[in-house]
Amino acid sequence: MGNVLARKLWNAGRLDPEDLQRLDEVISNPFPVDARKDLIQQGDDPEHVHLVLSGMVCRYKLMPDGRRAIVALMLPGDICDLHVAILGRMDHNLGTLTDCSVVRIPRATIEELLENHPRIRRALFWSTLVDEAILREWLVNMGRRRADKQMAHLFCEVHARLCAVNHMQDALLPLTQEELADILGVSTVHAQRVLSQLRAQGLVTVQDSRVAVPDVERLRDFAQFEVDYLHLEQGEGGRQHHTK
């Protein structure tokens, strides 16, 4: 249970002590990255994969007209770009949203893990499939929910995912409204309006660009949030247990 990666992969199924030890070895030399820096860019064919230890990283594409579409958020314990180990070429960019602590894992190490450590391999496969499930939910969220529900849903997801890796103390969303808009696919102005509406309803609170959720259950009701898709078998995904 020593590191975030192990804690995250824990959801995928049992890992043996030797697996955990191997994971500890892999996570060495973390280094800090400032907010709003690119880790890698579209077209790169880099030699390593990134693991987030702390902070928040996003996957984004740039549109021909210059707009930015954020298509995924990576939280502590998330591996950003297993792709490159298999697919080779990046078809999108990776950038930090906040100050982060990141570990670079050489491609060869990933290959070796996949080759020789069945349980870790399975766990990595699992995490890829969960990423896919999240993407599906985002797609539904974006396609058929109005912006207010959509935003609330996003907050619920980030909350649950942070809880699952024991980082609930992290600011829920340390984002500018522009970043929020780039995630939701709406204009900044509209993101602003929707956010202040949620605030007015008491569903979220904001302090220096940080969103906090006073009552998760209420927000979940509003957003019609179902944790299922995160596949957090063991953890409770942030449900407020033992309340009262």
What are the Cα distances from residue 170, in Å, to 24, 186, 212?
23, 25, 10
Query: CB of 111: closest distance to DNA in angstroms?
Result: 39
Sheet with strand 173-174: strands edge to edge: 173-174, 210-212, 205-207
List of residues contacting DNA (CB under 7 A) = 146-148, 176-178, 185-190, 192-196, 206, 209
Chosen residue from 18, 132, 217, 236 binding a second copy by CB under 8 A: 132
Query: CB of 30: closest distance to a second copy in angstroms?
Result: 25
Query: CB of 8: closest distance to DNA in angstroms?
Result: 29
- Tell me which of a second copy, DNA, none is bound by residue 168, counting a contact when its beta carbon lies within the kind-specific cut-off of 5 to 8 angstroms: none
Query: CB of 224: closest distance to a second copy in angstroms?
Result: 6
**Contact (Cβ atoms closer than 8 angstroms) between residue 19 and residue 1:** no
Residue whose C-alpha is closest to residue 144's, from 156, 155, 133, 136: 136
Query: CB of 46: closest distance to a second copy in angstroms?
Result: 15
**Contact (Cβ atoms closer than 8 angstroms) between residue 169 and residue 186:** no
Dihedral (CA of 225, 228, 229, 233) sign: positive
Amino acid sitting at position 195: L
By rule CB under 8 A, what string of x and - marks binding of each residue 182-221 to a second copy?
--xx------------------------------------
**At which residue do the structure tokens 């906090």 appear?**
212
Query: CB of 174: closest distance to DNA in angstroms?
Result: 10
Chosen residue from 28, 29, 63, 243 binding a second copy by CB under 8 A: 63
**Contact (Cβ atoms closer than 8 angstroms) between residue 183 and residue 123:** no
Kindly report the backbone phi and psi dihedral angles of residue 66, in degrees, each rounded to the nearest multiple of 5, phi listed first.
95, -15
- Tell me which of DNA, a second copy, none is bound by residue 99, counting a contact when its beta carbon lies within the kind-specific cut-off of 5 to 8 angstroms: none
- Residue 211: exposure state from Cβ atoms within 10 A (0-12, 13-18, ≥19): buried
Residues 1-60 that bind a second copy (CB under 8 A): 59
Q: At 51, list the tokens.
A: 């693991």
> Contacts with a second copy: how many residues (CB under 8 A)?
42
Nearer to DNA, 107 or 193 (CB): 193
Rounded Cα–Cα distance for residues 224 and 78 (Å) = 25
| Interacting residues with a second copy (CB under 8 A) | 59, 61, 63-64, 67, 69, 71-72, 82-83, 86-87, 89, 91-92, 114-115, 118, 121-122, 125-126, 128-133, 135-136, 138-140, 142-144, 184-185, 224, 228-229, 231
